[in-house]
Amino acid sequence: MVMSEIVKLLKSAKKVLIVTHVSPDGDGIGSTLALLHGLNQLGIEGHVVIDDEVPEGFAFLPQSGKILRYPHEMDGYYDVAVAIDCSDEERMGNVKELYMRLPVKINIDHHISNTMYADYNVVDSNAGASAELVYQLLKLLGVEFDSDISTCLYCSLATDTGRFMYSNTTSITHEIAGDLLNNGADLRKIAEEIFEKKTLNQVLLIGKAISTLNVVEDGTIAYITVTKAMLDECGARPGDTEGLVYYPKSIDGVEIGLLFKEEDDRIKVSFRSKKVDVSKIAAIFGGGGHVLASGCFLEMPMSEAVEKVVQACARAVKDVH
Amino acid sequence: MVMSEIVKLLKSAKKVLIVTHVSPDGDGIGSTLALLHGLNQLGIEGHVVIDDEVPEGFAFLPQSGKILRYPHEMDGYYDVAVAIDCSDEERMGNVKELYMRLPVKINIDHHISNTMYADYNVVDSNAGASAELVYQLLKLLGVEFDSDISTCLYCSLATDTGRFMYSNTTSITHEIAGDLLNNGADLRKIAEEIFEKKTLNQVLLIGKAISTLNVVEDGTIAYITVTKAMLDECGARPGDTEGLVYYPKSIDGVEIGLLFKEEDDRIKVSFRSKKVDVSKIAAIFGGGGHVLASGCFLEMPMSEAVEKVVQACARAVKDVH
């Protein structure tokens, strides 16, 4: 069994490199920190090294300040490398160079598209989050689940399963979550920091974005547009548009919700669908993604981009009905 | 044990009345429907009777159309009455008259304030939702958990625990949720119908409400104001203001979030706090509620109400610091 080999490798490691993907999410940050805590508890040295910043929202996680940003001074000394939540090595960003040249490479992930790029691959697409696999690994390592580890892993589970409401949620997800609560996971802290906290600028941007809402094609397509000027007026950052596409998509009767966002010299389009395969629509414009969530970029003025994309969406909606 | 006596009573009942509170929530609707499904499966006749409408959002729950609104023609025939999620008999509305005069009264609830008004009281304030107790009862009754029952109870758990992120969530909550998923709970349907669906009018109202956002007192107090004219402009209903107070409250640094809503001849104020005891502030104005969530009514113009309430909140925030 691969897991038990990994346990042996980690227990005899001199120093462990722990990696997750760029644009790290709650599963990536929570799972890597949980493994770091666990190894430290066993007296095994390690570092979490990522090629990105830790998003502000996850700064509350125990010892997130210990996460190192690649490149840094310690990279020569690792003898075991663990990648968590990376479907392929490219997802690691530049840290992949460090990861790929280490003598022992471990890959722990739950993405169905995982390319099995490591020497030891623990990939289970039935897991609601990579954290479920890290949980199993920590159990096998004999780690005691303290509140720090439990909070990190609960954060991973809650974010990656949409607070236990995405279809990747299973009875195992719930079983682990229950165990983490028993071991002191601070779910209120997680809720406050991740799900209940916004900046003033983000809230102002929601209001301004909704003021641009348009519902067209018999109520089946809804979109909002965010210009650079709007971001400036709200004092918002580009990342603050995250989640805005939820508003048009959530409207009763809407099949496709769209967000058009003005960037330097192009329009970024986010598609969210209830049933229609929007990855095909995004592909028309050179983009891609998932069936119900995709995106593309258009190099043209906002009004033209809206017209072209809405037309393509309208055709797709009609094809379905 | 009370539970086993209840099992005997239900199994020998001729016809069971099942009741929940007015302004029914996901726990009330989901739990009563789950018990009804379970009894029907065992060939026991019963009715869910409530003194209110079933909120539109819960109409997707299996057989919610069977819920009867009090008063109706069948009220003379019940020999056993089960109240679920009612902390006292007043919470049943007018249906309490029917409930209280029946020969066998059962009370299943998780509110700490429960007054033990029945002949058989199963009250556990450690339960995340009344659904946890109904789950145990159905297990003891020997009911087979089909997807209908499982969906109803998962809906109860998810709504009453804030998608497993309120502090009432326990390992038992997760254990039950996992079992319900194994038995076919349709969590995506619940997510779509309850957490991801809004009317166009509701979304428009969010935008308009945020456009009134004010942050005062060094960023510690934020409020939005909703007038009757704004509701009209958005085609929104009074109930559509539900959740709006979340926006001011969610802002980083805000201690108290407020919603001022114009009603016929008064202003309804909703208080939400992160730490400050807002029930005391609401009480100054003749209102009340919980420590972190309370409300009151003021019979005065909007501007005056805002001034008075914000002043009281500012004093409370200063007292804390």
- The stretch B160-178 carries a mean pLDDT of 96
B252 vs A197: CB contact, 8 Å cut-off? yes
Query: Which residue from A204, A222, A252 is facing B197, i.e. has the nearest CB?
Result: A252
Residues A312, A257 share a domain: yes
In angstroms, the CA A218 to CA B12 distance is 54
Query: Which residue from A174, A187, A199 is facing B178, i.e. has the nearest CB?
Result: A174
The minimum CA-CA distance between B183 and chain A, rounded to whole Å, is 10
Instruction: Render the burial of A83-93: b for 16+ CB within 10 Å, e for the rest.
Output: bbbbbbbebbb
Q: What is the pLDDT of residue B289?
A: 85
Of B195, B219, B245, the last residue of a domain is B195
- The stretch B50-63 carries a mean pLDDT of 93
- Chain B residues touching A187 at Cβ < 8 A: 164-165, 167, 169
- Chain A residues touching B251 at Cβ < 8 A: 198-200, 203
- Spans of chain A below 70 pLDDT: 73-76
CA B207 to chain centre: 25
B211 vs A206: CB contact, 8 Å cut-off? no
Burial class from Cβ neighbours inside 10 Å (0-12, 13-18, 19+) for residue A3 reads middle
Residue B77 pLDDT class (50, 70, 90 cuts): confident
Residues B227, B168 share a domain: no
Residue B74 pLDDT class (50, 70, 90 cuts): low
Residues A227, A88 share a domain: no
Element (H, E) at B83: strand B80-84
The minimum CA-CA distance between A190 and chain B, rounded to whole Å, is 8
B174 vs A169: CB contact, 8 Å cut-off? no
**Alpha-carbon torsion, ordered B163, B288, B220, B161, to 10 deg:** -10
Give tens-digit pLDDT for B170-225: 999 999 999 999 999 999 999 999 999 999 999 999 999 999 999 999 999 999 99
- Chain A residues touching B181 at Cβ < 8 A: 169-171, 174
Q: What is the CATH classification number for the domain harbouring B213?
A: 3.10.310.30
Residue B87 pLDDT class (50, 70, 90 cuts): very high
Residues A35, A18 share a domain: yes
Taking every pair of C-alpha atoms in chain B, what is the biggest distance, in angstroms?
64
Are β-strands A267-273 and A256-262 bridged in parallel, bridged antiparallel, or unpaired? antiparallel
Residues A181, A206 share a domain: no
B181 vs A167: CB contact, 8 Å cut-off? no
The minimum CA-CA distance between B209 and chain A, rounded to whole Å, is 8
DSSP-assigned letter for residue B251: B
The minimum CA-CA distance between A36 and chain B, rounded to whole Å, is 25
In angstroms, the CA A25 to CA A86 distance is 11
Of B135, B170, B195, the last residue of a domain is B195
Residue B239 pLDDT class (50, 70, 90 cuts): confident
Residues A75, A94 share a domain: yes
In angstroms, the CA A37 to CA B206 distance is 42
Residues contacting A129, CB < 8 A, separation 6+: A27, A31, A85, A110, A156, A157, A159, A160, A161, A168, A173
Contact criterion met (CB below 8 Å) for A53 and A69: yes
pLDDT surpassing 80 at residue B321: no
Contact criterion met (CB below 8 Å) for B301 and B283: no
In angstroms, the CA B47 to CA A74 distance is 69
DSSP-assigned letter for residue B201: H
Q: What is the pLDDT of residue B207?
A: 97
Residues A52, A179 share a domain: yes
DSSP-assigned letter for residue B53: P
The minimum CA-CA distance between A18 and chain B, rounded to whole Å, is 28
Contact criterion met (CB below 8 Å) for B20 and B33: no
Are β-strands A214-216 and A221-226 bridged in parallel, bridged antiparallel, or unpaired? antiparallel
- Chain A residues touching B197 at Cβ < 8 A: 250, 252
- Chain B residues touching A208 at Cβ < 8 A: 207, 211
In angstroms, the CA B295 to CA B110 distance is 23
Residues contacting A72, CB < 8 A, separation 6+: A49
Rounded to the nearest 10 degrees, the angle between the axes of helix A26-41 and helix A130-141 is 10
- Chain B residues touching A222 at Cβ < 8 A: 200
- Chain A residues touching B160 at Cβ < 8 A: none
CA dist A275 → A139, A257, A320, B40 (Å): 39, 11, 9, 34
Residues B223, B144 share a domain: no
Report cis status (omega within 30 of 0) of the bond before A71.
Answer: yes
Q: What is the pLDDT of residue A173?
A: 98
Q: What is the pLDDT of residue B73?
A: 64
Residues B69, B182 share a domain: yes
The minimum CA-CA distance between A71 and chain B, rounded to whole Å, is 32
A169 vs B187: CB contact, 8 Å cut-off? yes
In angstroms, the CA A291 to CA A274 distance is 9
Give tens-digit pLDDT for B23-52: 899 999 999 999 999 999 999 999 999 999
Q: What is the CATH classification number for the domain harbouring B78?
A: 3.90.1640.10
Residues A217, A148 share a domain: no
Range of the domain at B90: 2-195
Lookup result for tokens 């805590």: A37
Question: What number is the ipTM of this complex?
Answer: 0.91
Total domain count for chain B? 2
Residues B205, B140 share a domain: no
DSSP-assigned letter for residue B193: I
Residues B234, B247 share a domain: yes
- The stretch B258-277 carries a mean pLDDT of 95
A195 vs B165: CB contact, 8 Å cut-off? yes
Question: What does the DSSP assignment read for A54-73?
Answer: PPGGGTTSTTGGGPEESS-T
Helix (H) and strand (E) counts for chain B? 12, 12
- Cβ atoms within 10 Å, residue A266: 14
- The stretch B297-306 carries a mean pLDDT of 97
Of B195, B229, B244, the last residue of a domain is B195
